[in-house]
Amino acid sequence: MGDTVAEKAQSGRAASASRRRARTGRLRLSRDVREVFATGRATASPLAVVHVRDRHDGGHARATVVAGRNVGSAVERNRVKRRLRAIIADLPLRDGADYVVVGRNGALSASAQALYTAVAQQADLAGRR
């Protein structure tokens, strides 16, 4: 019972603040994504392609996930993107870099471990070059 209206409001503000902080690490502008594609380094596997571009500003890593129509229907594309976002959230991304992860056809049917390994290896390779 114990939560007062003020406590509930405070916890709601804290939750929304944490969601805002979580969003700051995302590439949201199409211009930024195009820059990563145009000037970044890319490595590919049958499950995903990882593009990386250094910003040289020392800020936090930013990332986004893309899945084209060749992956499948909208439901399948969204499923692939959710899986890739979860993987990106767990990876130690390099500060000052932008990442774009492109899901491929095989990502839909791949096991979670295979997809995680592929994305982690590609992100590591693209970040080193």
For residue 52, what are its two tokens? Answer: 């990386």
Task: Look at residue 74 in the predicted model and tell me its pLDDT.
Answer: 97
**Closest Cα to residue 32, out of 66, 81, 83, 68?**
66
Task: Look at residue 18 in the predicted model and tell me its pLDDT.
Answer: 44
Sheet with 97-103: list strands edge to edge.
41-44, 48-54, 97-103, 62-67
The domain segmentation of the chain, as residue ranges, is: 26-128
Is the predicted pLDDT of residue 89 greater than 80, yes or no?
A: yes
Q: What is the band of 2 on the pLDDT scale with cuts at 50, 70, 90?
A: low
- What pLDDT digit, counting tens, does each position of 18-72 carry? 444 344 588 999 999 999 999 999 999 999 999 999 988 888 999 999 999 999 9
77 contacts 113 by C-beta, under 8 angstroms: no
For 26-128, give the CATH class: alpha beta
Beta bridge partners of 53: 98
For residue 107, what are its two tokens? Answer: 């990502």
Task: Look at residue 5 in the predicted model and tell me its pLDDT.
Answer: 47
> What's the whole-model pTM score?
0.78
